Structure 1
Amino acid sequence: MEALLLVVEFAGPTMFARIGIMRALNRGKPPPDSGPRRKKTKAYRVIR
């Protein structure tokens, strides 16, 4: 909330206010599980 007031009063960075509001709205919820972030490695290796 404090970051939102800074944006309004002093033309501060809006991204900090957005991050704060989104964190407050999603408080208590588990983070979304989007699956693995990395590709699986190959079980073999090509040697030339």
Structure 2
Amino acid sequence: MALVNSTMLPLGTKAPEFQLPDAVSGETISLETFAGKQGLLVMFICRHCPF
């Protein structure tokens, strides 16, 4: 496995805008979709490996 440098936003940083496909519905999900909700967690684990 190749060593890949990883960066993390400091805790408490406002989330940047994003658009991602919902794997179940196929709809596009954005940060705005979650406005007013209790919380949102997005994790990209092992971004260098497609499996």
Normalization by structure 1: what TM-score? 0.24
Structure with greater helix percent = 1
Bigger relative contact order, structure 1 or 2, given CA contacts below 8 A and separation 6+? 1
Structure with bigger gyration radius: 1
